[in-house]
Amino acid sequence: MIVLLSASIFAQGIRQDPPNLVDPIDNVFLARANEDGKPGEEVSTFLPKDVPIFCVVTLTEFKIAEVKMNLVAVKVNGVRPETKIVTSSYRTKQGQNRVIFTGSPDGFWSSGNYRIDIFIDGLKLRSVSFNVVEPPRQQKFVPVPAKSKPRKG
């Protein structure tokens, strides 16, 4: 399930020579939910239980734009490499410059390497890689019985 909120972009005419484009993306980051259920601080590694994962895209301008996100499984057990898991897009309204995509699997995330590709008006402009890792296994503390010394005497 992907949930989207606001954003914006740039306009470009058709040209034969390469256009001198200004990057319409100010920032893209991934986050897990904070205490309020909103995107927290930027992270690049998640646990399988980190549901949802947020992708926050901030644009440089407040123009109408089509912002698209592809969530790709790069190297995940049981999934063919470069499989698009989720594709979602949102058309911003005038005055918006932020889009928040959220991804939630059925259950937990599978461990592995993932990538999010961001497109603005059909142009792929950013890719953000992240990992889902199993938490370290806790070793059980097993006390070792103290050795007794033989008594003299």
Decide if pLDDT at 3 tops 90. Answer: no
Question: What is the mean predicted confidence (pLDDT) over 5-31?
Answer: 60
CA separation, residue 145 to residues 77, 135, 142, 148 (Å) = 42, 30, 9, 9
In three-state form (DSSP H/G/I as H, E/B as E, the rest C), the secondary structure along 112-144 is EEEEEEEEECCEEEEEEEEEECCCCCCCCCCCC
What is the predicted pLDDT for the residue at 106? 87
Q: pLDDT tens for residues 65-122? A: 999 999 999 999 999 999 999 999 999 999 999 999 998 888 999 999 999 999 999 9
Q: How far apart are CA 151 and CA 56, in angstroms?
A: 70
The rounded percent of the chain whose pLDDT value lies above 70 is 76
CA separation, residue 151 to residues 78, 91, 145, 146, 148 (Å) = 62, 84, 18, 15, 9
